[in-house]
Structure 1
Amino acid sequence: MSRAAGRRLDGMNNTSVTATGLLDDKVAFVTGAGRGIGAAAARLFAREGARVVLAARTQAQLKTVTEEIRAAGGTADHVPCDLADADSVRAAVDRAVELYGRLDVAFNNGATIQPPGPMDQLPEAEFDRISAVNLRGPWLAMKAEVAAIRATAGRGAIVNNSSVGSLAANPELPVYGALKRAVNSLTGSAAVTYGREGIRVNAIAPGLTLTEMVDEWERDSPGIIDRLTAQNPLGRAAGPEEIAEAAAWLLSDRASYVTGVILQVDGGARA
């Protein structure tokens, strides 16, 4: 490190600063924000100072979460969005810009689960359905978000929600895992493509998290929560808020030199 750089770092370390929220004065767009990790993220981002636009197909859930954020003193609005439909995704991102004048950060959380079981037992229609949401959806969202950030804030950050199930063989949810692994690849490619523009792109890979989606998995595969919890080094599943914290940090300026990362938030499950 040069002496000049050292002096700059010393100056930063010695400067008294006022604590602020991780996402102060940022406009944040969150997909799948009506429940689970997305709803937890929307609440957290607002507490951390962001103006948040919640997007999902579930209008009633979006309205409830938005009202909770406002009642707690945060700034939020919501917009319907079908992640499998390009026009719907573009319109939702455009709405965020219309509401707040720009887009700074986005969390592409929305996803759907497959019926568990061997891949040869998954009907083609189900493959097409989950592919449309879990891979086409993040791709469409990133396209719209990059365009909006580029045209307004100029610099920003995107986080995609992947899964620890994308990092190894996934015989129980094989297509879900494969699509999430494809999201990891898109994340890395986007990070390299847009880094010089000041747009960082990362992903988080949650482990077992207590959400409605996991409840659905438990109904189809009784005992799966207990089995996965028993294998976890921390001996428990995550709460949605714990996953949201990782996304908030990656979107914040405190992660300003982090891009192209797939951050495992899994209690050591893949250690």
Structure 2
Amino acid sequence: MNTDTKVAVITGGATGIGKETARLLVADGVHVVLSGRRESVGRQAVADLTRNGGSASFLVADMDEPDSVTALFDSVLADFGRLDYAVNNAGLAHETAALADADPVKLQQMLSTNVTGLFLCLQREIREMLASGRGGAIVNLASIAGLNGIPYSGPYAATKHAVVGLTKTAGIEYSSKGVRVNAVAPGAIKTDIIARAITLGQYDEETITAMHPMGRMGLPSEIAEGIHWLLSDKASFVAGAVLNIDGGFQAK
């Protein structure tokens, strides 16, 4: 790889929004490091992304394990010597229950992945971008649940509100130092997770689509376009922002 080639890390990057974002970055000539828990899925994603040229790789990493987060970034820096872009996309949403009935164990699991894991990634990404002298751009995955109360998703909403708080604070603290931190807040998106939940009867698709003024769910590629813009120099005056990509949900 050319030493001038820019490098991006996308956590939870082997499927859905992460993979679609990687597709756009690879097309720009960026080397994209995908991370996730399932090596077979990651290898398939790399094969898909590089089939027509471009450069990508995969590293196993678990956002629930601080040592795994450290190892991920150690490997990226050892292999490529730089970090220009980061997308903190890994997340967990695995309960549908009223608040009084929510499982504290599942809350802790979501906090571990969605908040602590993201926090540790964000810290390391900022440090490396500052140390390089080149700066960089970071996008966190928030949600409409990070800006609103969402019935039967209280613990998940709490974790995404935390992501919004971290994003806004980092945007204030580091934008003058060349590191831009922003977030996207997707509405309901047709990812594998949502599709499985609908199949299992955890969600009703008609109810979900009715939440959005556009009358449909979003596509991973539509969220990826927003992330791609926030990472690019076209968003050079954007910091600490939360970009709503939600079919009009937040406008209600």
Instruction: Give the TM-score category using the shorter length.
Output: over 0.9
2:220 counterpart (234, 240, 243): 240
Residue of structure 2 equivalent to 1:73:
53
Which entry has the higher C-alpha Rg, 1 or 2?
1
Q: Deviations over 1:24-70 (max 9, x none)?
A: 94211000012111111112211122110001111111110111112
1:164 counterpart (128, 144, 151): 144
Residue of structure 1 equivalent to 2:183:
203
Q: Deviations over 1:122-179 (max 9, x none)?
A: 2221111111001111101101111221223531011000101221111221110111
Residue of structure 2 equivalent to 1:134:
114
Contact 2:171 2:240 (8 Å CA) reproduced:
yes
Q: What's the TM-score once normalised by structure 1's chain length? A: 0.87
Which segment is superposed worse, 149-158 or 198-207? 149-158
Residue of structure 1 equivalent to 2:40:
60
Contact 1:102 1:153 (8 Å CA) reproduced:
no
What stretches of structure 1 of length at least 5 have no aligned partner? 1-23
What one-letter code is carried by the residue in structure 2 that aligns with 1:87?
Answer: D
Question: For residues 91-110 of structure 1, what are the structure 2 equivalents within 5 Å?
Answer: 91-110=71-90
SS in 2 for 1:171: coil
Q: Deviations over 1:97-119 (max 9, x none)?
A: 22222000100000011310112
Q: What is the CA distance between 1:223 and its match in structure 2?
A: 5.2
Q: What is the CA distance between 1:234 and its match in structure 2?
A: 1.8
- Structure 1's consecutive aligned runs of 4 or more residues displaced over 4 angstroms after TM superposition are 220-223
SS in 2 for 1:270: helix
Q: What is the CA distance between 1:221 and its match in structure 2?
A: 4.2
Question: For residues 187-198 of structure 1, what are the structure 2 equivalents within 5 Å?
Answer: 187-198=167-178
Say whether 1:215 aligns with 2:195.
Answer: yes
Q: Share of identical aligned residues, percent?
A: 35
**In structure 1, what is the Cα distance between the partners aligned to 2:211 and 2:155?**
22
**In structure 1, what is the Cα distance between the partners aligned to 2:46 and 2:149?**
37
What one-letter code is carried by the residue in structure 2 that aligns with 1:211?
Answer: T
**In structure 1, what is the Cα distance between the partners aligned to 2:243 and 2:204?**
23
Number of equivalent positions: 248
1:260 counterpart (236, 240, 245): 240
SS in 1 for 2:214: coil
Contact 2:209 2:216 (8 Å CA) reproduced:
yes
Q: What is the CA distance between 1:231 and its match in structure 2?
A: 3.4
**In structure 2, what is the Cα distance between the partners aligned to 1:209 and 1:113?**
13
Say whether 1:118 aligns with 2:92.
Answer: no
Q: CA RMSD in A?
A: 1.5
**In structure 1, what is the Cα distance between the partners aligned to 2:217 and 2:115?**
25
Say whether 1:82 aligns with 2:58.
Answer: no
**In structure 2, what is the Cα distance between the partners aligned to 1:117 and 1:245?**
32
**In structure 2, what is the Cα distance between the partners aligned to 1:229 and 1:96?**
39
Contact 2:130 2:178 (8 Å CA) reproduced:
no
Say whether 1:28 aligns with 2:8.
Answer: yes
SS in 2 for 1:157: strand
